[in-house]
Structure 1
Amino acid sequence: MIRIDPIIKSVLILLLLCVPIIAHSANKLEGVRIWAAPESTRVVFDLSEAPKYTHFTLTSPYRLVVDLSSSATKIDLSKIENNSKLVKKVRISQPPSKGTLRLVIDLVKPAKANLFALSPTAPYGNRLVVDLDSGAGGAKQAPKVTPSEEMRDVIVAIDAGHGGDDPGSIGPSGTYEKKVVLQIAKKVEAKINATPGMKAVMTRSGDYFVNLNKRSEIARNSKADLLVSIHADAFTSPQPQGASVWVLSMRRANSEIGRWLEQKEKHSELLGGAGEIIQNTDNEQYLAMTLLDMSMDRSMAISHNIAGDVLSNLGRVTKLHKHQPEAASFAVLKSPDIPSILVETGFISNHKEERLLTQREHQNNIANAVHKGVVRYFENNPPANTLMAKNSATSHKVAKGESLSVIAHRYQVSIASIKKANKLTSNTLRIGQKLVIPRA
C-alpha cells in the first residue's frame, strides 16, 4: 500500500473540492449594455467566453429569463444605464442549479425575444445579444393618400450610420462617428421637414444599432423617394481628408479607401449584430432578376445625379476628397427600388476634420449642402403625384379645337401623364377647362 503524506492529501482534497466551483464559474459576466430604439430594445451581455444559455418568458409580470451555465458575475446590475421604455431593469435571480447565473429582464409589456451569441470583434469580446421587439418597429409609415389629398410629399429617408454597439470610426481625440453623424442627420431632417412638399424619415433617431438591410426596409416601408446615408470617413493614416459622396457599384471598389470602407461596413455588421441574407425563392427567378436589374439601373442613374448635386454643394462649404461621386458595394445602397447615396462628411481620422465635425456651425453647413443638393434634384425632377410636381407643373386652358393629343404634343408629354395628373377618366375635354401639364 502506498502511503500519502497528510499535507499532500489535504491539498489534493482541497483541489478536488474546488474543481466543481471552477467548472461552474468558468464564464464571467463582465458587463451589461442596454440600447433603446423606439419600438425595440437590445440588451448586450459581455462575457469572458462564448456563452451556453437557455431562456424562457414569464407573464404577470412580463419577464424574460436567461440562464447562463457555468457562469458568475461581480457587477452591480442596479447601476446599469437604462433609457428603455420596454425594459424596466435587469437583475439576478435564484439559479435553478449550482453554477448557473440566472438573469431576469423585467419588461413593461410583452415582447418578442431573439437571442444570439457573437464572437469577439474589436473593441468587444464574447457577447450574448438579446433583441426585444414590442411591435412593428422602424420608422412611422408615410401617410396614405386619401381621396381628399390630391398630392403627396417627396419622402427622403435619412440614415445616420452605425449606432449602439457599433461606434463607427473613432477619431484621434476619441470622437465617435455614430454621435456626430446622428447630429448632422437630425439637422438634415429638420431642413427637409421645413421644405414645402418634402418629408424626412429617420432610420434611427437615437443611439442604437439598425441592421443594414433593415435600414433599406424602413425606407421602403415609408415609401421613400431617396435614401441618404450619413457617415464620417476614416483611414489607416491621418493624412486623408475631405468629404465625398458614394453611389453603388456592382463590383468591388477600385480605390484603396473604397475597399477600406467596404471592409469597415462588414465590421459594422459584426459589431451591431448578425447580418441577414436576403434570398429570392421565386420560381420565376430569371424574370425577377431582369426586373430587378431594370429597377437597379434606374435607381443608380438617379443616385448618380443626386450625388453630383450634393457633392457640388459640399464643395462650397468644406474640402472635398474627390470631386466626382465614387462607387463601392455598400449594403445600405443596395435597395433596387430606392435611389440611394452615402455621404462621407469628412475624415474623422484626420485631427483637423475631427474637430470640425464636432462643431455645430460646420455640421449645419454640411447639412445645408446635403439639403440643397437633394432639393435641387427634386425641384428639377419631381416624382409624379407629388406636391413638388404640382407646384412646378404648367397650367393650360383648353381652347376650341384642342384635343389631348394636340396638347400632349405641344408640351412634349404623354396623353397618359396628362390624364393621370388631372384624374381624367376619358379623352373628352371642354373649352375653358384648366389642365395641369406635368413636366416632360
Structure 2
Amino acid sequence: MGLLRRLSWLLSIGFLPTALLHAAEIQRLQTQQQDGLTRTIVHLDGAPEYKVFTLANPDRVVIDIRNGRLAGGFNSSPAGLVENVRHGRQGSDLRIVLDLAATAQARSFVLSPSQRDGHRLVVELEQQGTASEPGPVLTVANAAPSGERDIIIAIDAGHGGKDPGAIGPTGAREKDITLQVARELKAVIDAERGLSAILIRDSDVYLPHAERYQKARREEADLFVSIHADAFTRPDARGSSVFVMSTRGASSEAARWLAERENAAELVGGVSLSDKDNMLATVLLDLSQGATLEASNAVAENVIRAMASVGNVHKNEVQRANFMVLRSPDVPSLLIETGFISNPVEERNLKDAQFRRRLALAIRDGIKDYFSVAPPHGTWYAANVKPVERHHTVSRGETLAVIARRHGVSVQSIRSANGLASDRILVGAVLRIPVSS
C-alpha cells in the first residue's frame, strides 16, 4: 500500500511520540474471525510502543510491547488462525507470541479509546498460500516496511471524451491540452530516480470525477495531481493556480463515506470503517482527512512557487474549492490550472510543446521539493535524499504556530532561522524553513 498514507493512518489512529508513552499494562487479549481475517485485539491501559513481526517454521506472530506487563487476571481467547497464545519477557519488554495454524500476513494499528474501550492494539492476519519469511517490523519510529520503493504520483488529465472542457480562441480544447501536459509530466517524473507516475487517463475517454480519485487510491498513489486549463469571460484573465480541497468539500465527502461505509472499500492503510461504531468511524475519518489536507496544502505551496518561474501566477496563494476530484480522504490531492485557455497568449503557450515541457518540469520540481522534505517511509527518497532548506510565503490568517506545524518544525527554529524577536509575521513575508527543528 502507499507507505506515506499508511504511516499517516498509523499515526492518526493511536501512535504517540515515544516521550509520551508509559509502561503499558495489558488487560486482556481477544481474537475474532471476521470477513476472512483473524483479528487479535490487545486491550491496554495506554498507548503502547510496540513492534510486530512474523516468523516461519513454525508460523507465528511476535508482538513486543515496550515495558509491557500483564494485568492480574489476564486472559486470552485463541480463534481463527491463532491456535495458541504464549507470553514471556524479552529484556524489559513483554513478548506475546501467537502460534498460527497456517502462514499469514500480519498488519497492525492502534485504536484510541472509545466510549466502551481503552487503547487497543489490533493485529490483523490474512492467510497466505506460501511459506512465510520474517515480516516487516512496525514501530512508532518507523511505521512502514523498509525498502526503497518509488514514490507514486497519479496524474489526472482533466475532462476527456464527451467532455471537451473549455475551448480557446483558436479552438484548442482543454481535454487535449491537459492530456498533453499530463503525458509530459509523467515523462519528466519517470526520468527522476525514486519517482514514478501513472496516468489516470491516457486517451480521449471520459471518466467520472469520483472514478478518477478512486483509481489513484487503487494504485496506492502517494499524491494525486489533476491537470486543467482555466477559462474566463474576459480574454485578459491570465496565470496559473493551484487548488486543494476546501473544508466544506471535505466535510460533505466525510458525510458520504460515513453514510456508505457498510459497502465502502477500506481506507488506504488497511483500516475499514464498516466495523466501527459511529463515533470511532467519524474520528478515524476526520483524522485521516486532516492529515491529507495538511499534506495537500504543503505540496501545493511548493508547486505554485515552482510554477511562478515559468509564467504568470493568477493567484500566489493556494486556493481551496469543492472539486470532486480532490475528495480522496487518504491521498494528498491538488488541482492545477495551468493557465487561461481563454487568453490568446496563454492558449498559444499551452499549444507549444516546449512551454508544456517547462511547465511539466516546474510541477515536477515542486513535487520533488515537497517529498525531499517529507519522504514516505520505505522509499528511495527517504533513504537517499538529503532535505534542503525551504521557504514559505505567509498567507492571510496564518500564524507562526500553524506554519511550524505544517512544515514539521518548531516555532523557535523558524524564529531563529529568520531572526524574529516575536511570533508576529506579515502577510507576504517569505520565511526560511529550517531542515529540522
TM-score under structure 2 length normalisation = 0.50
Greater relative CO (CA pairs within 8 A, separation 6+): 2
Larger radius of gyration: 1
